[in-house]
Protein backbone atom coordinates (compact mmCIF):
# COMPACT_ATOMS: atom_id res chain seq x y z
CA UNK A 1 0.00 0.00 0.00
CA UNK A 2 1.30 3.43 -1.02
CA UNK A 3 1.54 5.59 2.13
CA UNK A 4 2.43 8.78 0.22
CA UNK A 5 -1.15 9.36 -0.93
CA UNK A 6 -0.23 9.33 -4.66
CA UNK A 7 -2.68 7.50 -6.88
CA UNK A 8 -1.49 4.18 -8.26
CA UNK A 9 -0.14 4.30 -11.85
CA UNK A 10 -2.65 3.52 -14.59
CA UNK A 11 -2.12 0.26 -16.49
CA UNK A 12 -0.95 0.68 -20.10
CA UNK A 13 -3.72 0.98 -22.66
CA UNK A 14 -4.26 -2.16 -24.75
CA UNK A 15 -3.35 -1.88 -28.43
CA UNK A 16 -6.27 -1.12 -30.74
CA UNK A 17 -7.87 -4.28 -32.10
CA UNK A 18 -6.95 -5.28 -35.61
CA UNK A 19 -9.92 -5.49 -37.89
CA UNK A 20 -10.14 -8.44 -40.21
CA UNK A 21 -10.16 -7.49 -43.87
CA UNK A 22 -13.67 -7.05 -45.13
CA UNK A 23 -14.92 -8.58 -48.33
CA UNK A 24 -16.66 -6.25 -50.78
CA UNK A 25 -20.37 -5.89 -50.07
CA UNK A 26 -22.48 -8.25 -52.11
CA UNK A 27 -24.86 -6.47 -54.50
CA UNK A 28 -28.45 -6.40 -53.40
CA UNK A 29 -30.99 -8.28 -55.44
CA UNK A 30 -32.34 -6.27 -58.35
CA UNK A 31 -36.12 -6.13 -58.91
CA UNK A 32 -37.78 -7.18 -62.14
CA UNK A 33 -37.49 -10.08 -64.49
CA UNK A 34 -34.19 -11.78 -65.14
CA UNK A 35 -32.16 -14.76 -64.02
CA UNK A 36 -30.39 -15.73 -60.82
CA UNK A 37 -26.62 -15.47 -60.60
CA UNK A 38 -25.35 -17.32 -57.57
CA UNK A 39 -22.27 -18.93 -56.08
CA UNK A 40 -22.67 -22.11 -54.08
CA UNK A 41 -20.26 -24.95 -53.32
CA UNK A 42 -17.52 -23.56 -55.59
CA UNK A 43 -19.89 -23.26 -58.57
CA UNK A 44 -21.00 -20.08 -60.31
CA UNK A 45 -24.56 -20.51 -61.55
CA UNK A 46 -25.82 -18.21 -64.31
CA UNK A 47 -29.40 -19.26 -64.78
CA UNK A 48 -29.22 -22.97 -65.49
CA UNK A 49 -25.52 -22.98 -66.50
CA UNK A 50 -22.82 -23.91 -63.96
CA UNK A 51 -19.20 -22.72 -64.12
CA UNK A 52 -16.62 -24.15 -61.66
CA UNK A 53 -14.88 -21.24 -59.96
CA UNK A 54 -11.46 -22.81 -60.51
CA UNK A 55 -12.08 -22.65 -64.29
CA UNK A 56 -12.87 -18.92 -64.36
CA UNK A 57 -10.05 -17.04 -66.09
CA UNK A 58 -11.40 -13.48 -65.97
CA UNK A 59 -14.41 -11.50 -64.71
CA UNK A 60 -14.85 -7.94 -65.99
CA UNK A 61 -17.30 -5.34 -67.25
CA UNK A 62 -17.30 -3.63 -70.62
CA UNK A 63 -19.63 -2.01 -73.14
CA UNK A 64 -20.83 -4.00 -76.12
CA UNK A 65 -20.84 -1.78 -79.20
CA UNK A 66 -22.64 -2.77 -82.43
CA UNK A 67 -20.43 -3.42 -85.46
CA UNK A 68 -22.03 -0.62 -87.50
CA UNK A 69 -19.11 -0.06 -89.89
CA UNK A 70 -18.88 -3.78 -90.67
CA UNK A 71 -22.66 -3.90 -91.22
CA UNK A 72 -22.50 -1.14 -93.85
CA UNK A 73 -19.56 -2.75 -95.63
CA UNK A 74 -21.31 -6.14 -95.57
CA UNK A 75 -24.43 -4.56 -97.09
CA UNK A 76 -22.45 -2.92 -99.90
CA UNK A 77 -20.70 -6.22 -100.70
CA UNK A 78 -24.03 -8.04 -100.83
CA UNK A 79 -25.51 -5.40 -103.14
CA UNK A 80 -22.53 -5.55 -105.47
CA UNK A 81 -22.49 -9.36 -105.55
CA UNK A 82 -26.25 -9.68 -106.03
CA UNK A 83 -26.45 -7.14 -108.84
CA UNK A 84 -23.41 -8.66 -110.55
CA UNK A 85 -24.90 -12.17 -110.50
CA UNK A 86 -28.28 -10.93 -111.67
CA UNK A 87 -26.70 -8.96 -114.51
CA UNK A 88 -24.60 -11.93 -115.65
CA UNK A 89 -27.61 -14.28 -115.59
CA UNK A 90 -29.66 -11.71 -117.50
CA UNK A 91 -26.96 -11.44 -120.16
CA UNK A 92 -26.53 -15.20 -120.49
CA UNK A 93 -30.27 -15.82 -120.56
CA UNK A 94 -30.80 -13.20 -123.26
CA UNK A 95 -28.04 -14.64 -125.45
CA UNK A 96 -29.22 -18.23 -125.02
CA UNK A 97 -32.90 -17.83 -125.77
CA UNK A 98 -32.97 -14.65 -127.92
CA UNK A 99 -36.17 -13.19 -126.46
CA UNK A 100 -38.36 -16.27 -125.98
CA UNK A 101 -41.17 -16.23 -123.44
CA UNK A 102 -39.38 -18.80 -121.28
CA UNK A 103 -36.34 -16.56 -121.02
CA UNK A 104 -38.46 -13.63 -119.90
CA UNK A 105 -40.00 -15.76 -117.14
CA UNK A 106 -36.58 -16.93 -115.94
CA UNK A 107 -35.23 -13.39 -115.93
CA UNK A 108 -38.27 -12.20 -113.99
CA UNK A 109 -37.59 -14.79 -111.28
CA UNK A 110 -33.91 -13.89 -111.26
CA UNK A 111 -34.63 -10.25 -110.53
CA UNK A 112 -37.34 -11.08 -108.02
CA UNK A 113 -34.82 -13.25 -106.18
CA UNK A 114 -32.24 -10.49 -106.39
CA UNK A 115 -34.76 -8.01 -104.99
CA UNK A 116 -35.49 -10.37 -102.09
CA UNK A 117 -31.77 -10.73 -101.30
CA UNK A 118 -31.34 -6.95 -101.33
CA UNK A 119 -34.29 -6.47 -98.98
CA UNK A 120 -32.84 -9.05 -96.59
CA UNK A 121 -29.44 -7.33 -96.72
CA UNK A 122 -31.02 -3.94 -96.05
CA UNK A 123 -33.00 -5.22 -93.07
CA UNK A 124 -29.88 -6.92 -91.67
CA UNK A 125 -27.91 -3.68 -91.92
CA UNK A 126 -30.67 -1.58 -90.33
CA UNK A 127 -30.89 -4.10 -87.47
CA UNK A 128 -27.23 -3.53 -86.63
CA UNK A 129 -27.30 0.24 -87.17
CA UNK A 130 -30.28 0.63 -84.84
CA UNK A 131 -28.94 -1.74 -82.17
CA UNK A 132 -28.11 -0.30 -78.76
CA UNK A 133 -24.88 -0.59 -76.82
CA UNK A 134 -25.03 -2.69 -73.65
CA UNK A 135 -22.97 -2.46 -70.47
CA UNK A 136 -22.38 -6.07 -69.47
CA UNK A 137 -20.53 -8.33 -67.08
CA UNK A 138 -18.51 -11.09 -68.74
CA UNK A 139 -17.29 -14.29 -67.13
CA UNK A 140 -14.58 -15.96 -69.20
CA UNK A 141 -13.48 -19.52 -68.50
CA UNK A 142 -10.25 -21.32 -69.32
CA UNK A 143 -12.13 -22.88 -72.26
CA UNK A 144 -14.17 -21.24 -75.02
CA UNK A 145 -17.22 -20.51 -72.83
CA UNK A 146 -18.17 -16.95 -71.89
CA UNK A 147 -21.22 -15.89 -69.86
CA UNK A 148 -22.69 -12.42 -70.42
CA UNK A 149 -25.25 -10.72 -68.17
CA UNK A 150 -26.38 -7.14 -67.75
CA UNK A 151 -28.29 -4.90 -65.33
CA UNK A 152 -29.97 -1.51 -65.37
CA UNK A 153 -27.46 -0.17 -62.84
CA UNK A 154 -23.80 -0.29 -64.04
CA UNK A 155 -22.57 -0.05 -60.43
CA UNK A 156 -24.45 -3.25 -59.67
CA UNK A 157 -22.29 -5.09 -62.21
CA UNK A 158 -19.07 -3.48 -60.98
CA UNK A 159 -19.79 -4.58 -57.41
CA UNK A 160 -20.65 -8.03 -58.69
CA UNK A 161 -17.19 -8.32 -60.27
CA UNK A 162 -15.59 -7.76 -56.86
CA UNK A 163 -17.98 -10.21 -55.22
CA UNK A 164 -17.16 -12.99 -57.70
CA UNK A 165 -13.44 -12.29 -57.34
CA UNK A 166 -13.82 -12.51 -53.56
CA UNK A 167 -15.64 -15.83 -53.90
CA UNK A 168 -12.85 -17.23 -56.07
CA UNK A 169 -10.35 -16.46 -53.31
CA UNK A 170 -12.61 -17.58 -50.46
CA UNK A 171 -14.13 -21.05 -50.97
CA UNK A 172 -16.73 -20.64 -48.20
CA UNK A 173 -18.43 -17.68 -49.92
CA UNK A 174 -21.99 -18.12 -51.15
CA UNK A 175 -24.45 -15.52 -52.43
CA UNK A 176 -27.26 -14.99 -54.93
CA UNK A 177 -28.29 -11.94 -56.95
CA UNK A 178 -30.66 -11.13 -59.81
CA UNK A 179 -29.33 -10.05 -63.21
CA UNK A 180 -30.68 -9.51 -66.71
CA UNK A 181 -30.02 -11.66 -69.76
CA UNK A 182 -28.97 -10.53 -73.24
CA UNK A 183 -30.54 -11.57 -76.53
CA UNK A 184 -28.06 -10.48 -79.18
CA UNK A 185 -26.25 -11.81 -82.22
CA UNK A 186 -22.55 -12.26 -81.33
CA UNK A 187 -21.51 -11.47 -84.89
CA UNK A 188 -23.10 -8.00 -84.65
CA UNK A 189 -21.13 -6.74 -81.62
CA UNK A 190 -17.55 -6.04 -80.59
CA UNK A 191 -16.69 -8.27 -77.64
CA UNK A 192 -14.42 -6.91 -74.90
CA UNK A 193 -10.86 -5.72 -75.34
CA UNK A 194 -9.57 -8.71 -77.30
CA UNK A 195 -6.90 -7.74 -79.82
CA UNK A 196 -5.35 -9.97 -82.48
CA UNK A 197 -1.80 -8.72 -83.06
CA UNK A 198 0.53 -10.14 -85.68
CA UNK A 199 4.10 -8.87 -85.67
CA UNK A 200 4.97 -5.22 -86.03
CA UNK A 201 6.90 -2.86 -83.79
CA UNK A 202 5.91 -0.11 -81.41
CA UNK A 203 2.67 -1.83 -80.37
CA UNK A 204 0.90 -0.33 -77.36
CA UNK A 205 -1.69 -1.78 -75.02
CA UNK A 206 -5.32 -0.92 -74.54
CA UNK A 207 -6.66 0.83 -71.45
CA UNK A 208 -10.28 0.60 -70.39
CA UNK A 209 -12.17 3.36 -68.64
- The share of the chain scoring above pLDDT 70, in percent, equals 71
Instruction: Give the whole-angstrom CA distance, residue 78 versus residue 120.
Output: 10
Q: What is the mean pLDDT of residues 68-96?
A: 89
How confident is residue 66, by pLDDT bands cut at 50, 70 and 90? Answer: very high
Domain residue spans of the chain: 35-65+133-184, 68-129
Average pLDDT over residues 19-23: 44
Residue 148 has pLDDT above 60, yes or no: yes
Q: Quick check: 201 pLDDT over 50?
A: no
**What is the arrangement of strands in the sheet containing 175-179, beginning at the earlier edge strand?**
49-52, 43-46, 35-40, 175-179
Distance, in Å, from the CA atom of 189 to the CA atom of 150, rounded to the nearest integer, reads: 15
pTM across the whole model: 0.64
Give the per-residue pLDDT at 204.
Answer: 41
Q: What is the pLDDT of residue 206?
A: 38
pLDDT in tens, 34-60: 889 999 999 999 988 999 999 999 999
Sheet of 134-141, strand order = 146-150, 134-141, 56-66, 189-190
For 87-102, the pLDDT digits (tens) are 988 887 766 665 566 6
Amino acid sequence: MDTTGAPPPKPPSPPPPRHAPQHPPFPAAMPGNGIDLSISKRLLWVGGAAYPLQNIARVYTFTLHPRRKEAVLRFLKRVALTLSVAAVLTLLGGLATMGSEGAETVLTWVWLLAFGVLVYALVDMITVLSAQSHFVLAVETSGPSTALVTAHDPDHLRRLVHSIAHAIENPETEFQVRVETLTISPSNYYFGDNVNMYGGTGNVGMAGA
